[in-house]
A and B are shown apart, each in its own frame.
Chain A
Amino acid sequence: MTTGGVAPIIELSGLTVRYGPRTALDDVTLSLPGGAVGLLGPNGAGKSTLIKTLLGLLDAAAGRGSVLGVPLGGDVAALRRRIGYMPEREAVFPGLTGFQATLYAGRLSGMPDADARRRAHEVLLFAGLEEARYRDVGTYSTGMKQRVKLAQALVHDPDLVFLDEPTNGLDPKGRVEMLELIRFIAHEKGIHVLLSSHLLRDVEEVCDRVVVVQGGKVVRHEEIRALAQSHGDAALVRIAGEPAAFRAACEARGLSVLEEKDRDLQVKLTGDGETRPLFEAAVASGVVLRSVRPVRVTLEEALMDVLGAQH
């Protein structure tokens, strides 16, 4: 199967992963065309489990799939030579400097020693660790540890890189810099990126597509722009009268109230952005509309809406 004429880099069909009696991924079917893809969802949604299954670290209880054309459970070693992985947790090779750790990661990925050495210097430079590369990783700050993890994920120049919460623990400046690096490799160097995050803004800044996971299921998969647009616009309405009655009248007309604060309500409009139902709701509920201001639905609100709809 292809997506838009391009062979998918990840294709899953009915993938189910269980931790004992608990189902972590439930019948996931997905086809990702490549580029920069965000994996969004609340903590415990199954994002990390999905990545670990794609890496072959976890076995699927049911279903099948492929990554870069290699079937899950197939030649895992060959696949991992083409994949980079930046784990969510703080993970380092103990007792090594940044350079040694990155070199070691390259060697473990099958690179010859001389090439791994040169690449280790290059990627550490790229990750902004040129000054600190000969320091023990144990002495690094959180931001530096994130950078060295990125360098280790990239040292063997993978075709696809899994980044699990790459901005965890970073200060605002570090976060911006990390996202800049990721955006660069994804958009300028043609490396496919699967970015897992619970932070919507990270995904929004880097990715073209988004996969929303909740409760072990894929609840949405589309282009980021389409996700926001599909949720239409909203209006900030100030009323005089009883908010509960107005809310009920809105909901009766297919409008959902996103937020309510005193007599200010944020109401999501229908797909075409039509405001007429608002006025009808006001008449029906006997309230007066003091003001109606258009509000663009942010991706965050769209996501909350998607996640909320699953409960």
Chain B
Amino acid sequence: MVIHDRSYSRWKGDRTAPVKGAAVVFEGGVKRGTAIVFRRKIPAIGLILAAFGPFVFFLGLIYFSAYAMAHADQFPRGVVESLKDSELLQVITPSPGWAYTYMFLSQWVFVMVACVLIGSGLIAEDRRANALEMYLSRPITVRQYLLGKLGTIAFFVALVTVIPTAVMILAQLSVSWSVEGETLRLAGLLGRTLVAGAVWVAMPALTILTASSLADRARNAAILWIGVIVMLEFVVSNILREVFNVDAFWLLQIGFNIRQVMNLVLGNDVDLVTTVPVWQSGLVLALWVFVCLRVLRARVKPVEVVA
């Protein structure tokens, strides 16, 4: 008795699903990235706790302080008074400087980890497994493929930077809804945080994706990326600055340029003592974007032509 049909049956369905193209590549990338993070469960949990722990703690504090203020009668008088007098409220009240600290200063290590762990293999592993031919022989353009891959690493970088910061601003917004002027201030801060966050997310995502396209192994892409970052950020720029005593060498540091632009968008005073104008940093970042996109377009091809 035949229990199932092992033959080939024709399928008459529709091949124009609403989720297609770059969205499918993005979805596949996020699943794969999650699988990579959770390949070793205990380090993964440690990493997640370290990356999100402070956010969860401060989120709890925002709600606790708001609750304590609103229900002062339920708490001993001393607790509420000390809460008002302490610096805690200043620490958890969102401001431009606060957003910069949370998104950039406290999280850059996790951005590096996300880029190395997930971003480095995005194109390199596809190249190694000849998967580019598999992708691009389907109804996927090079642009959609790159967009899906860029979206993948941008998602993971945003997950440890912009998203928790924005969630904390939203949490503060929800507890200060009735405070006059505060809503408008927080909404403005949220907008500026998202724009500044986009710059912060885009640069590491784009550069690691470019490094990934230049290698055939994730490990090599990671080494290349870290090498370039370390050389520009800590070696070349500092040496040249010391030797020539010219501030313009700050521009060699991607991190410096990101900080300049982020602080401008957030409305902070630039935290570095430098004479380099912000527009120059913006120009350098735009140049990086241009070069990365050119390299990506040159490296991601369905057919490799060997001369």
Return chain A residues, CB-CB under 8 Å to B140.
108
Bitwise interface map of A from 114 to 144 toward B, beta carbon under 8 Å scored 1, else 0: 0100010011011000000000000000000
Q: How far, in angstroms, from A91 to B134 measured CA to CA in the complex?
A: 7
Contact flags A77-96 to B (C-beta < 8 A → 1, else 0) = 11011110101011111111
Cβ of A109 within 8 Å of any chain B Cβ, yes or no, is yes
Cα-based distance from A244 to B14 in the complex (angstroms): 67
Q: Is A226 an interface residue (CB 8 A)?
A: no
B241 within 8 A of A: no
1/0 contact string of B104-146 vs chain A (CB within 8 Å):
0000000000000000010001101111011111111100000
A107 / chain B contacts, CB cutoff of 8 Å? 17, 19-20, 24, 27-28
Other-chain contact of A110, B35, B134, B139, B141 (Cβ < 8 Å): B139
Name the one of B130, B135, B305 contacting A108, with C-beta atoms under 8 angstroms. Answer: B135
**A94 is contacted by which of B18, B27, B129, B138 (Cβ under 8 Å)?**
B129
Q: Verify B133–A89 contact, CB threshold 8 A.
A: yes
Least distance between B250 CB and chain A CB atoms (Å): 39
Mark the stretch among A2-10, A51-59, A257-265 that contacts chain B.
Answer: A51-59
Contact, CB under 8 Å: A20 / B307:
yes
Q: Contact: A87 with B17, CB < 8 Å? A: no
Nearest CB of chain B from residue A70's CB, rounded to whole Å: 12
Complex Cα spacing A80 to B137, Å: 7
Query: Does chain B have a CB within 8 A of A184?
Result: yes
- Residues of B contacting A: mostly: loop
Q: Within 8 Å CB of A80, what residues of B?
A: 137-139
* Residues of chain A contacted by B135 (CB below 8 angstroms): 108
Given contacts A85-B137, A92-B131, A105-B134, contact A19 B305 (CB under 8 A): yes
Kindly identify, within residues 39 to 74 of chain B, every residue whose CB is under 8 Å from any CB belonging to chain A.
Answer: none
B32, CB-defined interface residue at 8 Å: yes
Check: B15 CB closer than 8 A to any chain A CB: yes
B75 part of interface (Cβ distance < 8 Å): no
Contact between B134 and A157, CB atoms less than 8 A apart: no
Are B13 and A189 in contact, with the CB atoms below 8 A?
no
A185, CB-defined interface residue at 8 Å: yes
What sequence of 0s and 1s flags, for each residue 144-161 of chain A, a beta carbon within 8 Å of any chain B beta carbon? 000000001010110000
Residue numbers in A under 8 Å from B244 (CB-CB): none
Interface flags, B1-42, vs A, CB<8A=1, else 0:
000101111110111111110001101100010011000000
Residues of A within 8 A of B36 (CB): 95
Residue of B nearest to A130 (CB): B6
Does A251 sit within 8 A of B, measured CB to CB? Answer: no
Is B129 a contact partner of A157 (Cβ separation < 8 A)? no
* Interface residue A104 (Cβ < 8 Å from any Cβ of B): yes
Residues of A within 8 A of B7 (CB): 126, 184
Of A80, A92, A104, most B-chain CB atoms within 10 Å? A104
Q: Is B255 an interface residue (CB 8 A)?
A: no
Which of under 10, 10 to 19, 20 to 34, or 35 or more describes the interface residues of B? Answer: 35 or more
Contacts of B8 in A (CB 8 A): 122-123, 126, 154, 184-185, 188-189
CB < 8 Å: which of A52, A92, A113 contacts B303?
A52
Kindly supply a per-residue 1/0 record for chain A positions 289-302, scoring 1 wherever the CB is within 8 Å of any chain B CB and 0 otherwise: 00000000000000
Report B-chain residues with C-beta under 8 Å of the C-beta of A308. Answer: none
Within 8 A of A (CB), among B134-160: 134-141
Query: Distance (Å) between the CB of A85 and the closest chain B CB?
Result: 4
Contact B35 A94 (CB under 8 A): no
Cβ of A170 < 8 Å from any Cβ of B? no
Q: Is the CB of B11 within 8 A of A157?
A: yes
Residue of B nearest to A55 (CB): B137
Q: Is B302 an interface residue (CB 8 A)?
A: yes
Contact of A95 with B125 at beta-carbon distance under 8 Å, contacts A111-B15, A125-B4, A189-B10 already known: yes
Residue A172 at the chain B interface, CB threshold 8 Å: no
User: A94 with B125: in contact, given A108-B24, A126-B6 (CB under 8 Å)?
Assistant: yes
Given contacts A52-B302, A93-B129, A113-B19, contact A105 B138 (CB under 8 A): yes
CB-CB under 8 A from B303, the residues of chain A are: 52, 57-58
Q: Is the CB of B133 within 8 A of A108?
A: no
Residues of B within 8 A of A184 (CB): 7-8
Q: Are B138 and A108 in contact (CB under 8 A)?
A: yes
> Quick one: which of A87, A96, A110, A122 contacts B137, CB cutoff 8 A?
A87
B18: A residues at CB distance < 8 A: 112
Nearest-neighbor residue (CB-CB) of B27 within chain A: A107
Complex alpha-carbon distance, A87 and B129, angstroms: 12
Given contacts A109-B15, A115-B13, contact A92 B137 (CB under 8 A): no
Q: Nearest Cβ distance between residue B12 and chain A, in whole angstroms? A: 8
Cβ contact of A95, chosen from B9, B32, B139, cutoff 8 A: B32
Counting from the closest, the 9 A-B pairs by CB-CB distance are: A91-B130, A157-B11, A77-B139, A110-B15, A57-B302, A81-B15, A112-B17, A94-B125, A94-B129
Selected A-B contacts with CB under 8 Å, 24 pairs: A57-B303, A58-B303, A81-B139, A83-B137, A85-B137, A87-B130, A87-B137, A93-B126, A93-B131, A94-B131, A105-B138, A107-B20, A107-B27, A109-B139, A110-B15, A111-B17, A112-B18, A113-B19, A122-B9, A123-B8, A126-B6, A184-B7, A184-B8, A189-B10
User: In the complex, given contacts A80-B138, A96-B32, what are 13 additional A-B residue pairs having Cβ atoms less than 8 angstroms apart?
Assistant: A52-B303, A55-B137, A80-B137, A87-B134, A90-B130, A92-B130, A93-B126, A94-B32, A111-B13, A115-B13, A126-B7, A154-B8, A189-B8
